[in-house]
Amino acid sequence: MVAHRSLTQIFVAPLVIAIVSTVGLISALVGDGWWDAVSWAALGLPVLLYLVFIWRRRPN
């Protein structure tokens, strides 16, 4: 538990993730090869973060 968080503190991480996701959504439309790879990584990030956050705090 942490002290009261400001709106900026609450939304900075979600905002970064949303921007990265948007880059990922557009990237594969623009080109092939590396552009596709950027897409996989950028859109894979939310999935990866989800797993990390859930697994890290799993009850033993």
Binding residues for other proteins, rule: CB under 8 A, are 1-5, 7, 10-11, 13-14, 17-19, 21-22, 25, 28-32, 35-36, 39-40, 43-44, 46-47, 49-50, 52-54, 56-59
Minimum CB separation of residue 52 from other proteins in Å reads: 8
Q: How many CB atoms lie within 10 A of CB 21?
A: 15
Please give the DSSP secondary-structure letter assigned to residue 12. Answer: H
Contact 24, 39 (CB under 8 A): yes
Structure-block tokens of residue 20: 């990265």
Q: How far is the CB of 44 from other proteins (least distance, A)?
A: 5
